[in-house]
Structures are given as C-alpha cells and as structure tokens.
Amino acid sequence: MTPTDPSEHTPLLQVDNLTVSYHHKPVLWDINFDLPQGTITGVIGPNGSGKTTLLKSIMGLLPADYGSISLFGQPLKKVRNRISYVPQRESVDWDFPATIRDVVIMGRYRKENLFRRLKKEDHEIAREAMEQAGLLDIADTAISELSGGQQQRVFLARALAQKADLYLMDEPFVGVDAATEDAILKLLTRMRDAGKSVIIVHHDLQTAYSFFDHIVLLRTRLVASGPKDEVFTANNLQDAYGGRLSVLSRIGDLMKREEVQMKQGPGE
C-alpha cells in the first residue's frame, strides 16, 4: 500500500485575519479562509468587494495591514516559483514590439536565471504551452495585432510555460468571445485534472456557478467560502449582492437546470 503524501492534505491557500486598506479605508476586512489543492476556485462579489485586492495580496503586490497568507503551507517567498500570476489584460501595453513567442518564452525566466541563455528544453516547453493555448500557428505574430481573445490566450500560454502548481488569474474571461471562453475553460479543467490549482477573479455571478468547484464570496468581508453548492445559497447571495432579486432568481434557475441535467445523465 502506497503511503499518503502528507503535502496533498496541506491547504493550497490559507488566509488568516487579513485586512488590506487603500488610503486608510479597508478594502478587505478580517478575511479568514483556506482552499484545498487541485481545484478551480472563483473569487466573486460585487464591484469594490476586494476581489482583485485579494489576488494582489496573495502575490505580495499589496501589503497587508494585518494578518497572514500562506501557500502550500509556506510563506510566499519560499514558494514563489510554484505560482503564476495572470493580471488583467488592460494592465499590459499591447503595442510593445514583441511576438507571441517572445511573450510566452518569458515564462521560462526566473529570478535566478535572468541572465542565462535558455536551453532547448525551455523552448520546447514554450512551444508546448503555445500549442495548448491554440497559438502555435500564429506564434510569430506581433502582439499588437491580436484580438482580445488571442491576447488572453497569450497570457495563459505564458503562465503554462512557467510550469507552476498554482495559477492566479484576474478576470480572464473579460472581452473574449464564447469560443475562447470555452477553450480556456477546457484547458483549465485539464490543468486541474493534472493536479494543478487555479484561483480566478470573476465578475459574472451566473457563469461562476457553472465554471468553478469552489467559491470565495466577498463583500469587503468574507461572506462565504467553500464548495459552490454550499456557498450559492439565497442568504449568502443576498448578503453579498444586497438582495438583487433578478440576479438571485436567475441563479436559482441555473442551479435547478444543472441539478436536472445531473439526474438525467448524458445523452438523455
């Protein structure tokens, strides 16, 4: 009998008493939750609820007023190479003179190898990442010529080239078409099935129920965190969204449809 790897039971992410402020105004207030490894987690909540702030705090891009964050049971500085961060598309200068290949290969650089020549293996990993993201045929295209969906795929390919264990993504579905959204979701599902973990900031409440395994629901404070069926309750959604009944009604209809489909099974 193969012994169990104790690291498999270590939380992916542990957030304890986290408070983060902008200009002395709390954006996140006394947040506590943890997440298991090997899941796709959606961070959702109304505008201004602290979703992007949480992601930036996890990556050490914003200092905390109070509290602590651990990843794989370690502080960020000890596991940074295991984490890939995909920011919002709008944060990048897409007029920069670079090709898709140039951007993706950047995923192979680390702090300790910034000045060494990349190996054949690095280029092969980048090639594989572009292939997975559906970009290999246009790898030498300038990033300034790409559509919004293609730009998002470039971000994803660069993240894949890092060979990380945790992927943090800020609004990856904004401005992409339905085909790109579907392709990204399929790729993320394959990554999860291979043991990777993904945390995504997402703004659309209705698709969140379909997309994610776990949900972190924020409204400056933590409203709820856990498997999606435990988080998506009328009380939690009203606490977060202030009782927007039309939204809650559509979510209820979606949950009922998914429940019926699960009972019927495929092909029925």
Distance CA 209, CA 42 (A): 9
Domain ranges for the chain, please list them.
8-264
Least confident of 59-68, 93-102, 128-137, 195-204: 93-102
Architecture of the domain defined by 8-264: 3-Layer(aba) Sandwich (3.40)
pLDDT at 67: 96
Q: Which residue has the higher pLDDT, 31 or 234?
A: 31
Between 245-264 and 234-241, two packed helices, what is the crossing angle to 10 degrees?
A: 150
For residues 9 and 11, the model is more confident at 11
What does the DSSP assignment read for 222-246?
A: EEEEEEHHHH--HHHHHHHH---HH
pLDDT tier at 256, thresholds 50, 70, 90: low
Report percent pLDDT > 90 for the chain.
54
Mean pLDDT for all residues in the chain: 86
As a whole number of angstroms, the distance between CA 204 and CA 55 comes to 17
pLDDT at 268 over 50: no
Beta strand 40-44 with 214-219 is parallel
Taking only the tens place, the pLDDT of each residue in 133-153 is 999 999 999 999 998 888 888
Can you give the pLDDT at residue 115?
56
Q: What is the pLDDT of residues 33-43, one digit of tens each?
A: 999 999 999 99
pLDDT-derived band at 246, boundaries 50, 70, 90:
low
The predicted-structure confidence for 107-119, as pLDDT tens digits, reads as follows: 888 655 555 678 8
User: DSSP H helical segments within 162-221, as ranges?
Assistant: 178-193, 205-211
The pLDDT-based confidence of 124 (bands split at 50, 70, 90) is very high
Rounded-to-integer distance, Cα 261 and Cα 259, Å: 5
pLDDT of residue 199: 96
Note the pLDDT of residue 2. Answer: 43
Tens digit of each residue's pLDDT (9 = 90 or more) over 152-194: 889 889 999 999 999 999 998 888 888 888 888 988 998 999 9
* 13 or 2, greater pLDDT: 13
